[in-house]
Structures are given as C-alpha cells and as structure tokens.
Amino acid sequence: MSTETRQLDTTELEERVKSMYEEVAVEPERDFHFETGRALAERLGYPPEELDRIPAAAIDSFAGVGYFLDLAAIGQGDVVLDLGSGSGMDSFLAGLAAGDDGRVVGVDMTDAQLAKEKQLTREGAIATVEFDAGYIERPPVEDGSFDCVISNGVINLSPDKPAVFAAAARALRPGGRLALADIVSERQLPEGVTCDASLWAACIGGAMQTDGYREAIEAADFEIETWRENTQYSFVSERADNATQKYGVTSISLLARRA
C-alpha cells in the first residue's frame, strides 16, 4: 500500500526539500520543475478577487498543485491547520474566510518559508494567522482543537504519508474536515523515480498510488466525500513531464471528514 521508500535516503530528501523550498521562498522568479506564483494560482481556480486581499509576496512563492478551498468551506470562527504552509497563501486565504473569531495555524519545516510568512504577518497581514516551525508528521498542536486541516502540494513530499493522515485526524475535532490538493499516481512508480530525492523534492517521486493513498486516509478514520482531478496542473521540466505521462502522475483535490 505504501509508496516504495526502501532505498530512499530520507535525510537527503529532507535537505533537498528544504533547499528547494528555500529557493521558492527567496527567489520565486527562478525556474523550477513546477510552476509558481499568481498565474498558476488563477489557473488552478483561486478567485482573483480573493488573491487581491492577501500579501502579493505570499502569492509569488505559491507552489501548490490545486484549488481545494471551495471543498474546505471554511466559515466564520473556524480554527484551521495548514500542513506545509509554505509562504502562507492558503493560510492567509483561510484566515480571511475564518474571520476575526477564527484562527489559522500554518506549520512548515523550511526556515526561509517561515521567515517569509512571519515577515508578512509583522507587516500587517491577517492577524489571526500564525506560523510555527514543525513537521507535518507530528505538528506541534493540541489534539482535537481544529475544525479543518488543509494542505496543498505537501503530503506527496512526506516519506510517511500514513503518519501525516493520522496527525491530521488527531488534530481535528470529531466531524472535522480534511481538505487538500496533492499529487498521486495511477501506476506504481519505479525505484529509479521513488529513490531519486530530487524528483521527490519536485513533487513527483513521492506520489503515492491512488488506491493506497485513499486507503491511508480511510485508515486514519476519515471518510472521503469528494475526490476530483485537477487537469489544469502540469509539471514544466521535460524529465518531470516524462514521469508524469508514463505513470499517470496527477494532481487531485479532496474533502474527507473525520469520524
């Protein structure tokens, strides 16, 4: 059921992921295996009028893979956890939706992303949004304290996806929602891809097979309510594109509810 990880060096993976997303935070205009920024966000379905209400610098470093905030249906007063918040675009949009009575906590392991998010907060971005250093497999939050967990383009990067879904379930109150966008694959990726830390860091090598991904969510006590493909998302480098076409690597958005 799990993605092939036998020979993946997880220490090297963490370093590669941190170094790639440090560049996304600091130099978002560079070329990556994937698209970034506002044009990507709008193509995926983010409403431009919502994007106009949050800091442009957070949008510049957006590196998500799909739109899912319609599924999250965040309402006034909701308490939201963003796993792998990056430069904070989804966290800030969630903060707008949750309003003054709500609260959003973004968690990320890359110092440069956190520094950028915190700087935007100091500069007056939405006051109910905070950012903490941590891992998505064990976020530093209280059990049962969230209405909604969101995540965009991150879980595929984790070598332990069941731990991420279990952590999301622990963080949520009963009946809470998990809404996310991520990369999955139709066919099992070969070891040459799954053991290549740079393809993992580019959101391809860690793509789990669809069936196993759904099973991992359900095993964490979620019921999947919506599952949809994001056909607007594509990788940009030739190497990445070859892997995606051969193995059916694709972006999905989903909504699941905790029992």
| Site residues (vs ligand SAM, CB under 6 A) | 17, 21, 62-64, 84-86, 89-90, 108-110, 113, 135-137, 152-154, 157-158, 203
Q: What is the nearest approach in angstroms of ligand SAM to the Cβ of residue 39? A: 14
Phi then psi for residue 140, to 5 deg, are -80, 70
Measured CA to CA, the distance from residue 216 to residue 134 in angstroms comes to 22
Q: What angle do CA 97, 17, 95 make, to 5 degrees?
A: 10
What is the number of other CB atoms lying within 10 angstroms of the CB of residue 43?
Answer: 14
Q: What is the nearest approach in angstroms of ligand SAM to the Cβ of residue 13? A: 9
Measured CA to CA, the distance from residue 163 to residue 51 in angstroms comes to 32
Q: What is the nearest approach in angstroms of ligand SAM to the Cβ of residue 224? A: 20
Buried b (16+ CB within 10 A) or exposed e, 229-246: ebeebbbeeeebeebbee
Q: What is the nearest approach in angstroms of ligand SAM to the Cβ of residue 225? A: 22
Cβ atoms of 181 and 253 within 8 Å: the answer is yes
In the chain, the largest separation of any two C-alpha atoms, in whole Å, equals 48
Q: What is the nearest approach in angstroms of ligand SAM to the Cβ of residue 174? A: 25
Helix (H) or strand (E) run with residue 159 in it: none
Q: What is the nearest approach in angstroms of ligand SAM to the Cβ of residue 136? A: 4
Q: What is the nearest approach in angstroms of ligand SAM to the Cβ of residue 135? A: 4
Nearest to ligand SAM of 85, 128 (CB atom):
85
Nearest to ligand SAM of 21, 247 (CB atom):
21
Nearest to ligand SAM of 101, 253 (CB atom):
253
Which parts of 141-221 are beta strand (E)? 146-152, 172-185, 208-209
Nearest to ligand SAM of 133, 259 (CB atom):
133
Which residue's C-beta sits nearest to ligand SAM?
Answer: 86
Nearest to ligand SAM of 236, 259 (CB atom):
236
Nearest to ligand SAM of 181, 256 (CB atom):
181
Nearest to ligand SAM of 84, 95 (CB atom):
84
Helix (H) or strand (E) run with residue 47 in it: none
Residue 81 three-state SS: strand
